[in-house]
Amino acid sequence: MSSMTNKDSYGHVRGESLFVDDINVKEGTLHALVFDSPSAHGKIKSIDYSEAEKLDGVERIFTYAAIPGENQIGGIIPDEPLFAEQEVHFMGQPIALIVAKTLAIAKKAKKIIKIEIDESPVVTTAKEAFNKGLFINAPRKFELDVVEKGFQESEYVFEGETFTNGQEHLYLETQASYAFPLEDGNIKIISSTQGPTSVQSIAAKVLNLPMHRIEVEVIRLGGAFGGKEDQATPWAVMTALAVYHLKKGVKLILERHDDMRMTGKRHPYESTFKIGLNKDLKILAYEVDYYQNSGAACDLSPAIAERTLFHATNSYFVKNAKLTVHSCKTNLPPNTAFRGFGGPQGMFVIESAIVKAAKELNIPVRKIQEANLLQENDEFPYGQIAKQVEIGKTWNEVKSQFDISKKEKEIQEFNTKNHSVKKGLSLMPITFGISFTNTPMNHARALVHIYQDGSVGISTGAVEMGQSVNTKMLQIAAMSFGLTPDKVKIETTNTTRIANMSPTAASATADLNGKALLNACDNLKERMSEVIAEKLAVNKLDKISYQDNFIFVNGTKSKLSWEELILTTFLKRISLSEHAHYATPEIHFDKTKEKGHPFAYHVYGTALTTVTVDCIRGTYEFDAVQIVHDFGKSMNKGIDMGQVEGALVQGMGWMTMEEISYDEKGRLLSNSLSGYKVPDIFSVPKEINVIPLETDGNEMAILKSKAVGEPPLMYGIGAYFAIQNAMLAFNPSYKIKFDAPMTPEKVLMGLYENDLK
């Protein structure tokens, strides 16, 4: 069954799949529009809603004053109001919600609201905030005992600075919510969120209602990438607030420009590093300060900062490390989760440090990478002992399968023969930890109903967002019961069926919910075993299995069909429903010591990236990205390959062409698709070759099929360094930069760097 196609592909292609904006709304449903701050920092002197309120068709304008509970949506630290009160802290910060009969009327009303703001100084970069002492919280530090000694013992020490820019999520479906009243003042919210329980609990807090009065339903998301882990919540809560007061359905769908302006992105990081190596190129010491541009409120910043520390040493064993992350408060929209969750930012820095060292020592980068790859039983800086380490295997496989020495020679010959086009390559190893770094979040639930006709309905806490988790859940239930997938239905993700969900995030959702689902199926089968025993006169030593719609005994098909078993079980008054739970075993972490075993397992892989740079124009094309990836035992090759390819290209976009830009007033300049470029079909690598590593898989992964959502994004970092290697072939005096993204403009400047002086 490892080739089961994505359950959603048919509906998507035909336009039949339902997203929030496709739901048939009730008659009289109202439309909402957010009135947001035109200024990035200041005190609100006055707001005049009177003209707007008088407009025909405007139902009501809600501000913080309409909130019955707390005006607070902060998840980790309570520092973010739903609606600004006296002050604004970023351009695009919600101040009010206009609710009207049509969206056109709401837009008209928005234009005639008058606001006066007493402007305060605006801070847009992390270092600036750091220098002014503006922080979200105290810095977080992983410090191994003897860093100074490590540097003293080092033969070579190099220092440098890096920058990685933010990244716009650019989910196809913008932020969306539709809420409506149920009986007795209860409220139902249909939201495009990764975290139905976050929406439920924050709506409850804002409305001063117990959580059970609020039902959150998710059908599917048109993409999320982390952008809807926390930041789907405000829009959902706003619609719930309007429903609370108006007792009518209210719909809020952000338009693309509003979405880009008002929502946070991947955190930009400025970092300073110091790396020490011995004669054998072993990294003896590594010290980094990461300056995270957190934006105007906490959001998920501390959790993201934490993952930066966990992935600071990427795939390498580093004996002495001192890693400090500063969450710096700026006047940008609160930056948030984005595929990789701070990991990519951390990994870029150590790759930069290694490249810097290699260039200074005039040796191939891969010599340093290779000398430091993690080995079995190495200890990560956070105390976890590395087990089932596959990084060396993926590295060696890439080198041999794609004949790296030959390739390097070919590139050298090409570069000698060609003056105005040059090629470059890079190797990028990745190691990514699977589990929420916050241990208490690592559990999930599933609910399975077997109906008396033998058809099955399953609910889990997993949210479908295009990653095909629903298909994986269907596959698990179908496999467990020996049914074809059409006998199983996946239900929506709904807080009344599955309570207390962690968000669909951290690459861990198929593992957590899939294992809960397997537990539910196993419990049902356990219960039905007595029915089978009676029907087929089997004994305890006989091996029962479920295959091809029948019960098998000792591998032989019996005459008992699934349908007959189900009907018999039902008539015997045995429950055909099961609710089960799964919590990742073995994981723990002690934040007072910054030591523990936070991850269920790690995912490994290596990418080889080859690029051709047009040295007249500064443009580039990727010839190939060749990857050996550790899927474990992939439960669905089509889906998993798609995740690797998609993540790779998204990572390459972040590293090369996606450039977020704010002016000094905190205004987003890259606020549309004409100014913000993402990879399209013309800019993806000409060849993407993903070879699965042969391995036994890992028991902690669902069906030994390892998490695949985030890890491959970091292969994209290879693109950044491949380009610069090609540039060096054209301009040997080019000084290598660690300033991503490497846009064609920067390439062109670099190619002629000494000419420009």
Q: Which residues bind ligand MOS (CB under 6 A)?
A: 194, 226, 229, 337-339, 341, 505-506, 710
User: What residue 326 binds from ligand MOS, ligand LUZ, none (CB within 5 to 8 A, per partner kind)?
Assistant: none
Nearest approach in angstroms of CB 339 to ligand MOS is 5
The DSSP string of 623-634 is: EEEEEEE--BS-
Asked if 683 touches ligand LUZ (CB under 6 A), the answer is no
Cα-Cα-Cα-Cα torsion 369, 375, 381, 385, nearest 10 degrees, comes to 160
Whole-number Cα distances in Å, 528 to 318, 469, 567:
52, 28, 11
Helix (H) or strand (E) holding 81: none
Asked if residues 187 and 215 have their Cβ atoms less than 8 Å apart, the reply is yes
Quick one: which of 298, 391, 506, 627 contacts ligand LUZ (CB under 6 A)?
A: 506
- Which one of ligand LUZ, ligand MOS, none interacts with residue 303, CB within 5 to 8 A by kind? ligand LUZ
Beta carbon of residue 503, minimum distance to ligand LUZ (angstroms, whole number): 6
Return the one option of ligand MOS, ligand LUZ, none that residue 200 interacts with (CB less than 5 to 8 A, by type): none
Report in angstroms how near the CB of residue 709 gets to ligand MOS at its nearest. Answer: 6
Q: 279, 362, 270, 350: which is closest to 318 by C-alpha?
A: 350
Nearer to ligand LUZ, 226 or 685 (CB): 226
Residues 404-443 that bind ligand LUZ (CB under 6 A): 436-438
Q: How many angstroms separate the CA atoms of 597 and 215, rounded? A: 35
Min separation Cβ 330 and ligand LUZ, Å: 21
As a whole number of angstroms, the distance between CA 62 and CA 328 comes to 31
Pairing mode, if any, of strands 488-490 and 114-119? unpaired
Contact 654, 266 (CB under 8 A): yes
408 among known catalytic residues: no
Binding residues among 311-370 for ligand LUZ as defined by CB under 6 A: 337, 341
Nearest one of 576, 635, 570, 546 to 447, comparing CA atoms: 576
Residue with Cβ nearer ligand LUZ (162 or 435): 435
Q: Which two tokens stand for residue 15?
A: 């336009």
The partner in contact with residue 194, picked from ligand LUZ, ligand MOS, none with C-beta cut-offs of 5 to 8 angstroms by kind, is ligand MOS
Question: Hey, which residues does 446 pair with through a beta bridge?
Answer: 460, 580
Q: How far is the CB of 229 from ligand MOS (least distance, A)?
A: 4
- Residues 285 and 276: beta-carbon distance below 8 Å: yes
Cβ distance to ligand MOS smaller for residue 270 or 710: 710
State the CB neighbour count (10 A cutoff) for residue 103: 17
Residue 307 makes contact with ligand LUZ by CB under 6 A = yes
Active site residue: 80, 464, 578, 710, which one? 710
**CA 676 – CA 746 distance, rounded (Å):** 16
Residue 275 vs 701, nearer CB to ligand MOS: 701
Residue 704: which of 465, 517, 510, 481 has the closest Cα? 510
Structure tokens at 197: 């329980």
Q: How far is the CB of 226 from ligand MOS (least distance, A)?
A: 3
Q: Could you tell which of ligand MOS, ligand LUZ, none binds residue 89, using a CB distance below 5 to 8 A set by kind?
A: none
Residue 261 or 445: which CB sits closer to ligand LUZ?
A: 445
Cβ-contact 239, 189 below 8 angstroms: yes
DSSP 712-752: GGGGGHHHHHHHHHHHHHH-TTPPP--EE---HHHHHHHHT
Nearest to 724 by CA among 419, 420, 426, 427: 426
What would the two tokens of residue 468 be?
A: 């095909």
Question: Which of ligand LUZ, ligand MOS, none does residue 30 bind (CB under 5 to 8 Å by kind)?
Answer: none
Instruction: Output 198 or 609, the one with its CB closest to ligand MOS.
Output: 198
Residues 228-247 within binding reach of ligand LUZ (CB under 6 A) = 229
Of the pair 339, 443, the CB lying nearest ligand MOS is at 339
Nearer to ligand MOS, 6 or 467 (CB): 467
Rg for the chain (alpha carbons), in Å? 27
- Residue 307 binding target from ligand MOS, ligand LUZ, none, CB below 5 to 8 Å by type: ligand LUZ
Give the one entry of ligand LUZ, ligand MOS, none that residue 437 binds, where binding means its C-beta sits below a cut-off of 5 to 8 angstroms depending on kind: ligand LUZ
- Residue 28 CB, nearest approach to ligand MOS (Å): 35
Q: Shortest distance, CB of residue 668 to ligand LUZ, whole angstroms? A: 24
Residues involved in catalysis: 710
Binding site for ligand LUZ (CB under 6 A): 229, 300, 303, 307, 337, 341, 436-438, 505-506
